[in-house]
Structure 1
Amino acid sequence: MPFFTPPSAQPSTTSLSPPNSNSNTPTPISLSPNNTSQSQPTNNNNNTSHVPISPPHHSHTNLNSTNIPIQPPTTTTNPPTNIPSIIEKPAAATSLPNSLPGSHSMVTRSKKGIFKPKKLYTVSKFPLPITIEPSCPSKAIKIAEWKSAMSDEFNALLSNNTWSLVPPHSSQNVIGCKWVFRIKRNPDGSVARYKARLVAKGFHQQPGIDYTDTFSPVIKPQTIKLVICIALHHNWSLSHMDVNNAFLNGTISETIYMSQPYGFVHPQYPNHVCKLHKSLYGLKQAPRAWFQALQKFLLDYGFQNAKSDTSLFVYVQANIIAYFLVYVDDILLTGNDPIFLSQFQQDLSTRFSLKNLGTPSHFLGVEFVPTNNGIFLSQQHYIRDLLESTNMHDSKPVSTPMSTSCSLVAPTDAPICDVTAYRKIIGSLQYLSLTRPDISFSVNRLSQHLATPTSLHLQAAKRVLRYLKGTITQGLHLTRDKSFNLTAFCDADWAGDRTDYKSTAAYIIYFGPNPISWSSKKQRTVAKSSTEAEYRTIASTTQEIIWLQQLLTELHCPLQQKPTLYSDNLGATYLCANPVFHSRMKHLAIDYHFVRDLVQADKLQVLHIPTGSQLADLLTKPLSSSRHSLLTSKIGVVDPSTILRGRVEDKII
């Protein structure tokens, strides 16, 4: 409680005085247990020294109670050194000037030295659990599991001749490095191993000096699903391999200097820097250098690099055919000759350090579950982790990812929500759409507000999470089929966006009975009619069909018949087959001739389909619960307990 100072008193000399006599000299109060005299506070403005005040003592008071330190208010005069620094409880009595009318005694206690404990330091006293990924190496190096992982990584770098120590020089651009820790888990969630990786701080690199080209390709999701379908068709086995420290196998041509890693500084040369000879994680050119090293080995072995997908390599010799797919350091291998595949894996492991994981159970975060007639692809663990990280694991499920009455047009003065959290959710949902085409439209709409999301958009994103919670076990079931045919469904929601009146175009393409490619995207220009919007969608779908045909040709799997494309717009369908061209369609000349030439060359068939049977309708706009559930099951997103589907032709009602 603040001290009140009357106008006549000096703020800097307000003091607390013990009972005293007529003498102006303050008298110390004895703290002996024999002292039972009671003291009454009085006011004496001449006293400038502060003396600890003893509270009233009674005969029944426990004088041996715990002592409490007390500090009097700060003044210009220091207390005498012979005065005791502690007193017994209760706290000292603070006297107010009794010259004021209505003044009375009040018991207070100094707050100096009393504070809440800082949790930061309290938590750091306990050891870090080994099931938590540490954020700094100083904590990780104190734990045996993480220290062993750091030593393994460091020894691997030394054995690979990744760098050599050189004296520092002022002209060197020395980049930093850091340790990154990850826990590798088994499919059931248990800890498989502890991984520590030394990463260079590539953001310190200077363009044109430390690096030039940085692009490195990865395998496309459509190619992965297409190769799986071909392997199922021929009853081929799939092999999953992982390259250990893949980026360390690349060779760099630039001269790069890096500081020594924490915890492994050379005791004899602590000030030296590392001159890199091999690529390292974190360098901007590291992915490109690794891919070039792998590409050179495969081409020398006899593989051919596919032009339709640069990360696909095809081996065709005599009666042997093999497919090699690579996504950074994850490899998927299949073919018709098990002896050749086994020999190739041995030769590959001789050149690079590999882990042969056998039949894939997890590939790029997608779970592979074998069934009697194919493979079931899902991302259940990824969805569970996403729900946990967003605190939506206890949310109430909903039947559709987006409400039919949902409007994402926020007021102009609406506050912006947490941009980082919103972008993290949308990025995770985009990755989930690799096996869940039923959320593609919702993810596309929400992705259009990444710059300035509001609470309205965040609520819409959380609704998608609630939908995933109710359908967490659903996924794609790729089945074995004898036919090699491409079938496409395309649709457009004309002027569906009420802000700029642009249309939403969508398509889904099947290889046999299995969906392998789909898209939901807003068109770049405003369509003047529904026919124009639908025709532009047909043109973009045809581009994807042509690319898939070229990919199948390089895989040596030619189609048995020409692709079929279904559209529910009669006007757009007639434009594909009939030479109808007038002034209202002049601005569509390129798209018009592109599709029409393929139809006339008998390389594409465009047919009309009723709107009720249009499967791509699921990817163009929000639907009712019953309609959404019906189309979701028809496009191939099913629960593993209900894996009973017919052919694509059976999907047309």
Structure 2
Amino acid sequence: MPEHNGLAERRHRHIVETGLALLSHASMPRSYWTYAFATAVYLINRNLTTEESSAEIDLPQSSYPAVMSIPITTQPPIPPPITHTVPPPPIPPTETNTPVSPIAPAPPLLEASVSEERTTTESSEKSVSTSAPTENVVLQQAPPQPLVQLRTSTRQRKPVNKLNLRAAVLPLTEYIPTSVAEALKDPRWCSTWIFTIKRLPNGAVDRFKARLVAQGFSQRRGIDFHDTFSPVVKPATIRIVLSVAVTRDWPLRQLDVNNAFLQGKLDEEVYMAQPPGFASPENPTAVWKLNKAVYGLKQAPRAWYNELRTFLLQYGFHNSLSDASLFIYNHGGVCLYMLVYVDDMVITGNNVDHLNKFFNSLSSRFSLKDLGELSYFLGIEVQRSLSGLLLTQTRYIADLLHRTKMTDAKPVPTPMCPTTKLTLTSGDPLPDAKEFRAVIGSLQYLSLTRPDISFAVNKLSQFMHKPTTDHWHAAKRVLRYLAGTIHRGLFLPARNALSLHAFTDADWGGDGDDYSSTGAYIVYIGRHPIAWSSKKQKGVSRSSTEAEYPSVAATTAEMCWVLSLLREIGIKPTSTPAIYCDNKGATYLSANPVFHSRMKHLALDYHFVRERVQDGTIRVQHVSSDDQLADLLTKPVTRAHFQDMCRKIGLTKGAPS
């Protein structure tokens, strides 16, 4: 029973209370209790004990441990005893401890210079000061003495007096937190104003904008937020809907919701300190109870999506099963499709009058800006003509070149040199990898309309954790290529058959580090691509067929998704979609029962593709390597081959006449 093991139980309580205090001080969730308790044991072993005034860790050792890394801080009064381990006791605020939570504002944090005196009845002449220098100090120690067996003392110990603390607090002129934990202690960082400049598609200044943003990092899951996921429309869905609209000559209308996140209703009780400039003179310490979401809350995007979705469902729309951010209206011969990316929307349909009616109904519920005909969406310029739709990212490329000081760089004809072999160890490590990672992130966004750089971006993304000078030079070559092709984009022709086919390929063992393969595919609707991917495969393939077949399976999965989306918007391909592969072994494997023991590790991919072939969903056909359009996404190619592939893919500098 616990009563019969007092010493051990007391030590357990000491560890538990110290660990919970550490969690509370760091504002960490309870799931990190193992780390907190381990840290508590580490600190307790280095605290002074009543036996010989030495740390417990010193007893079996002959040298003193390094303790200069342990900060000395004042502590609040000891709370009343508790009879369980959770939840941790609340910490009362003191001059040196000002907890900040979403429900209680606190006075501004002051920087404190603390001198601390500890006095006990056993050692009144000893004191500990916190004004010691911070550099490492070499402790002079006596030669180690042999341990002596101690007998149990029979004298009655006197109680130890509580610590006498004396703190001198100095005012702080300017305080900038260096970590999230420090920011949480200061109410001035519980919300802040964000200032930005909104620009027009041509780069001109539209308006200056100020927005109050809550610091959502102070929220805790299960207390003031639960679910945070909010879907956004997929890039492939955008291309498919735009392709259908331009083929059927439907209008494309763009909308923007004003202060969208302020429309969402909260299911949780959330409180926020009064923002600077709007504090009530009568109640300066009061807090606000939020009835609706504000920018910065973790659940704000989800709350806005649920609010919009509820309205659209009541109007008669239904959610697409293939993409939760595509809403479809199909009643009485009227078809409307709505793409939603947070607060940016694109609406198209076959009935202009009903389109205007829906817009009026939507604007009566939410504050909207009618941006007219689609021209600029998610950083993509949209140029419509009688011949079709041209998607470019000219302005985004120009901004990227300006940030990297590559505006006047000499252009190159290809994004990667065919003779370049990038590995993890090639080149010297970069002293600062931030710029490299920022550039690769921007290039990933550019690949929304530029499949010609997909392989280069995929390859460079594999070195994000530790880039070198060679990787940086390769990234700059991609920028030089973009500088020479800044106006190139993806063209969606107006006269286009809505037939579906795809190309798939793999570069067998092309990785210079682990000999993995790179698989790629590109899916077409008629004459233009609507989905593509370039990705390093997992594991090493023992043959080209083993490398090609996982790519065939990935392409099959993408084709099934595209077919599902097309069916939802009322489009049925006139023929069975074809997947073109230049490997005869993979082609035969998908259509014939030639599965044997050497292919058992491909069982899942094999059966998945075979079932889709047998039920008529897709068909796999062989194509020559010269006509393999996905070859561009698996490896660097020569200049002539690269330019020929770009032309066949559908990349163009301008809309054809």
State TM-score, norm by structure 1: 0.71
* Partners of 1:166 and 1:272 within 8 A in 2: no
Letter in 2 for 1:487: H
* Partners of 1:216 and 1:288 within 8 A in 2: yes
* Partners of 2:252 and 2:348 within 8 A in 1: yes
Deviation digits for residues 345-370 of structure 1, max 9, x if unmatched?
Answer: 01101111000101011000000011
Q: 1:537 aligns with which of 540, 545, 551?
A: 551
Letter in 2 for 1:256: V
Deviation digits for residues 212-265 of structure 1, max 9, x if unmatched?
Answer: 110000000000110011111211101000000000000112222222222333
Q: Check if 1:366 corresponds to 2:380.
A: yes
Deviation digits for residues 35-83 of structure 1, max 9, x if unmatched?
Answer: xxxxxxxxxxxxxxxxxxxxxxxxxxxxxxxxxxxxxxxxxxxxxxxxx
* Partners of 1:250 and 1:286 within 8 A in 2: yes
Q: Distance in 2 between matches of 1:233 and 1:415?
A: 50
Q: Distance in 1 between matches of 2:221 and 2:319?
A: 29
- Structure 1 residue 169, shift from structure 2 partner: 8.1
Give 1:7's aligned residue. Answer: none
Letter in 2 for 1:475: G
Q: 1:546 aligns with which of 545, 560, 569?
A: 560
* Partners of 1:417 and 1:453 within 8 A in 2: no
* Partners of 1:231 and 1:334 within 8 A in 2: yes
* Partners of 1:316 and 1:322 within 8 A in 2: yes
Q: 2:296 aligns with which of 264, 282, 307?
A: 282
Q: Check if 1:619 corresponds to 2:633.
A: yes
Change (3 A) 1:293 1:411: same
Give 1:234's aligned residue. Answer: 248
Q: 1:590 aligns with which of 596, 599, 604?
A: 604
Structure 1 segment 172-571 matched on structure 2, within 5 A: 176-411=190-425, 414-571=428-585
* Partners of 1:508 and 1:517 within 8 A in 2: yes
* Partners of 2:424 and 2:463 within 8 A in 1: no
- Structure 1 residue 412, shift from structure 2 partner: 7.9
State TM-score, norm by structure 2: 0.71
Q: Considering only aligned residues, what root-mean-square deviation do their CA atoms show, in Å?
A: 2.0
* 3-state SS in 2 of match to 1:431: helix
Following TM superposition, where does structure 1 have runs of at least 4 consecutive aligned residues deviating by more than 4 angstroms? 165-170, 172-175
Letter in 2 for 1:270: P
Deviation digits for residues 603-629 of structure 1, max 9, x if unmatched?
Answer: 212111110111000000011111111
Structure 1 segment 105-116 matched on structure 2, within 5 A: none
Structure 1 segment 629-644 matched on structure 2, within 5 A: 629-640=643-654, 643=656
Change (3 A) 1:169 1:382: closer
* Partners of 2:386 and 2:494 within 8 A in 1: no
Q: Distance in 1 between matches of 2:106 and 2:536?
A: 54
* Partners of 1:376 and 1:475 within 8 A in 2: yes
* Partners of 2:545 and 2:585 within 8 A in 1: yes
Q: Distance in 1 between matches of 2:496 and 2:410?
A: 42
- Structure 1 residue 166, shift from structure 2 partner: 9.4
* Partners of 1:483 and 1:560 within 8 A in 2: no
Q: Distance in 1 between matches of 2:526 and 2:627?
A: 18
* Partners of 1:214 and 1:284 within 8 A in 2: yes
Letter in 2 for 1:403: C
* 3-state SS in 1 of match to 2:198: strand
* 3-state SS in 2 of match to 1:508: strand
* Partners of 1:417 and 1:458 within 8 A in 2: no
* Partners of 2:387 and 2:493 within 8 A in 1: yes
* Partners of 1:410 and 1:456 within 8 A in 2: no
- Structure 1 residue 200, shift from structure 2 partner: 0.7
Deviation digits for residues 515-554 of structure 1, max 9, x if unmatched?
Answer: 1000000011211110111111111000000000001111
Q: Distance in 2 between matches of 1:206 and 1:604?
A: 47
Letter in 1 for 2:294: L
Provide the identity percentage: 53
Change (3 A) 1:498 1:368: same
Letter in 2 for 1:581: F
Change (3 A) 1:204 1:608: same
Letter in 2 for 1:528: R
* Partners of 1:481 and 1:512 within 8 A in 2: no
- Structure 1 residue 414, shift from structure 2 partner: 3.1
- Structure 1 residue 266, shift from structure 2 partner: 2.8
Deviation digits for residues 139-180 of structure 1, max 9, x if unmatched?
Answer: xxxxxxxxxxxxxxxxxxxxxxxxxx998589x996711111
* 3-state SS in 1 of match to 2:313: helix
Change (3 A) 1:368 1:413: closer
Q: Distance in 2 between matches of 1:321 and 1:240?
A: 17
Q: Distance in 2 between matches of 1:463 and 1:180?
A: 35
Letter in 2 for 1:545: M
Q: Distance in 2 between matches of 1:447 and 1:355?
A: 37
Look at both structures and tell me which one has the larger radius of gyration over its CA atoms: 1
Q: Distance in 2 between matches of 1:292 and 1:389?
A: 37
Q: Distance in 1 between matches of 2:458 and 2:215?
A: 33
Q: 1:608 aligns with which of 601, 618, 622?
A: 622
- Structure 1 residue 188, shift from structure 2 partner: 2.3
Letter in 2 for 1:309: D
* 3-state SS in 1 of match to 2:267: coil
Please list every run of 5 or more consecutive structure 2 residues that lacks an aligned counterpart in the other structure.
1-101, 108-184
Please list every run of 5 or more consecutive structure 1 residues that lacks an aligned counterpart in the other structure.
1-164, 645-653
Q: Distance in 2 between matches of 1:166 and 1:424?
A: 37
* 3-state SS in 2 of match to 1:256: strand
* Partners of 2:319 and 2:325 within 8 A in 1: yes
Change (3 A) 1:173 1:561: farther
Letter in 2 for 1:402: M
Q: Distance in 2 between matches of 1:444 and 1:238?
A: 32
Letter in 1 for 2:434: T
Give 1:82's aligned residue. Answer: none
* Partners of 2:427 and 2:468 within 8 A in 1: no
